[in-house]
């Protein structure tokens, strides 16, 4: 039996797969604590998993970002808004998340910390501990990989792979450009990491991969662009079976229509752009 801390950003689409993992580990006899925003307390406890809330300063409700981050709402969709989200929601809360996780580790010395690719606090918290006190860090890839590769264009460009030397040249140039565009946020992240006794070794998204003991991508290779430079601690482990995440699921009345041997297109408005389900 191991002691496991499972961490997630307080966003439904992030909590759901991590909570499914936590429930499964609990069912296998492990001791599990879930570390996320307080809005998910009852949902976690209903699964029988122990709960530990983010401290104030990180424990915001993403269902009401207009109140939490009025400046975010004033920005038009695009690079400026994405940069604000990453800095204010992703990086700025790191010290608070680190302090909360260190307190949790004092009360519950875990063997393993399982987190997800968009939550940087656990990565900084574990890295900042003395080597002999560090639990193993497992990162779950719940989204497509953000880290760079010689075989792909940067995340977010929407460009298909290009084979041969033309592709190598294109990808090297675009990856360098992405790092340059990211330079101010990278410098901010490095300063934040340093403030908690951790070291951000290289490009932020690459460092998350580099310093995880295991990076487990929740899909199969066919859903990702081929990468020939993946490290050995990166593994495709397939999706989480629906039974692990389902709780009293009732299919919609139209559900049987999906089995009528016709193409089905699934559309999601994502994590944030879902306040207005008609016009967004």
- Which residue's entry shows tokens 């695009």? 78
In the predicted structure, residue 167 carries a pLDDT above the cut 50? yes
The predicted structure's pLDDT at residue 154: 95
| Residue 35, H or E segment | strand 31-36
Give the integer Cα–Cα distance in Å for 24 and 140: 15
The predicted structure's pLDDT at residue 242: 66
What values do phi and psi take at 129, rounded to 5?
A: -85, 150
List b or e across 146-174, with b for residues whose CB sees 16 or more CB atoms inside 10 angstroms.
Answer: bbbbebbbbbeeeeeeeeeeebeeebeeb
* Best CA proximity match to 86, nearest among 196, 189, 235: 189
Give 234's Cβ-side CA count (13 Å radius). Answer: 18
Task: Report, as an integer, the average pLDDT of 38-48.
Answer: 95
Question: How is residue 240 annotated by DSSP?
Answer: P
* Best CA proximity match to 214, nearest among 136, 154, 126: 136
Q: Please provide the size of the chain in residues.
A: 280
In the predicted structure, residue 271 carries a pLDDT above the cut 80? no
Residue 239's pLDDT band (cuts 50, 70, 90): very high
Q: Residue 278: which residues within 8 A CB-CB, separation 6 or more?
A: none
Give the integer Cα–Cα distance in Å for 204 and 94: 13
Which tens digit of pLDDT belongs to each residue from 4-25?
999 999 988 899 999 999 999 9
The predicted structure's pLDDT at residue 111: 96
In the predicted structure, residue 35 carries a pLDDT above the cut 60? yes
Give the integer Cα–Cα distance in Å for 231 and 216: 11
Find the DSSP H helices in 182-254.
183-195, 204-210, 242-245
The predicted structure's pLDDT at residue 54: 97
The predicted structure's pLDDT at residue 280: 44
Which tens digit of pLDDT belongs to each residue from 79-131?
888 888 899 989 999 999 999 999 999 999 999 999 999 999 999 999 888 88
Which tens digit of pLDDT belongs to each residue from 59-82?
988 777 777 787 877 888 778 888
Provide, rounded to the nearest whole percent, the portion of the chain with pLDDT above 90: 68
User: What is the rounded average pLDDT for all residues in the chain?
Assistant: 90
The predicted structure's pLDDT at residue 83: 87
The predicted structure's pLDDT at residue 272: 60
DSSP 129-185: S-GGGPPEEEEEE-SS--S--TTSPPTTS-PPP--HHHHHHHHHHHHHHHHHHTHHH
Residue 201's pLDDT band (cuts 50, 70, 90): confident
Task: Report, as an integer, the average pLDDT of 39-64.
Answer: 92
């Amino acid at each position: 039996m191991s002691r496991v801390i499972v961490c997630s950003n307080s966003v439904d689409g992030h909590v759901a797969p991590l909570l499914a993992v936590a429930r499964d580990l609990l069912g296998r006899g492990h001791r599990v604590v879930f570390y996320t925003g307080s809005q998910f307390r009852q949902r976690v406890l209903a699964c029988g998993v122990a709960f530990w809330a983010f401290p104030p300063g990180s424990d915001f409700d993403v269902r009401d970002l207009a109140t939490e981050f009025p400046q975010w709402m004033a920005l038009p969709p695009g690079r400026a808004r994405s940069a604000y989200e990453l800095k204010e929601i992703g990086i700025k809360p790191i010290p608070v998340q680190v302090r909360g996780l260190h307190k949790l580790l004092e009360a519950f010395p875990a063997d393993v910390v399982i987190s997800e690719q968009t939550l940087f606090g656990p990565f900084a918290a574990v890295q900042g501990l003395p080597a002999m006190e560090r639990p193993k860090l497992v990162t779950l890839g719940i989204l497509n990989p953000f880290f760079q590769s010689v075989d792909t264009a940067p995340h977010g460009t929407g460009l298909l792979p290009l084979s041969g030397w033309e592709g190598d040249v294109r990808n090297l140039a675009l990856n360098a450009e992405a790092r340059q565009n990211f330079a101010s946020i990278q410098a901010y992240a490095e300063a934040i990491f340093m403030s908690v006794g951790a070291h951000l070794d290289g490009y932020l998204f690459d460092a998350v991969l580099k310093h995880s003991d295991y990076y487990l991508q929740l899909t199969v290779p066919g859903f990702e662009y081929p990468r020939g430079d993946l490290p050995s601690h990166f593994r495709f482990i397939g999706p989480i079976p629906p039974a692990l995440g389902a709780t009293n699921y009732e299919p919609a009345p139209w559900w049987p229509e999906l089995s009528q041997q016709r193409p089905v297109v699934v559309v999601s408005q994502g994590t944030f752009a879902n306040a207005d389900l008609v016009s967004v």
